[in-house]
A and B are shown apart, each in its own frame.
Chain A
Amino acid sequence: GAGVSQSPRYKVAKRGQDVALRCDPISGHVSLFWYQQALGQGPEFLTYFQNEAQLDKSGLPSDRFFAERPEGSVSTLKIQRTQQEDSAVYLCASSLSGDNSPLHFGNGTRLTVT
Chain B
Amino acid sequence: AQSVTQLGSHVSVSEGALVLLRCNYSSSVPPYLFWYVQYPNQGLQLLLKYTTGATLVKGINGFEAEFKKSETSFHLTKPSAHMSDAAEYFCAVSDRGRTGGFKTIFGAGTRLFVKA
- Interface residues in chain A, defined as those with a beta carbon under 8 Å from any beta carbon in chain B: 4, 31, 33, 35, 40-45, 48, 50, 55-56, 91, 93, 98-100, 102-103, 105-108
* B-side contacts of A103, CB under 8 Å: 34, 36, 44, 46, 104
Q: Which residues of B contact A102 (CB under 8 A)?
A: 34, 46, 49
B109 touches A42 (CB 8 A): yes
* Interchain CB contact (< 8 A) of B101 among A31, A43, A45, A107: A31
Which stretch from B13-21, B69-77, B79-87, B92-100 is at the chain A interface? B92-100
Number of interface residues of B (CB under 8 A): 26
Please list the 7 inter-chain residue pairs (A to B) with the smallest Cβ-Cβ separation, ordered nearest first: A100-B32, A42-B106, A105-B43, A105-B44, A42-B108, A102-B46, A50-B101
CB distance from B109 to the nearest CB of A (A): 5
Contact partner of B100 among A42, A44, A50, A105, CB < 8 A? A50
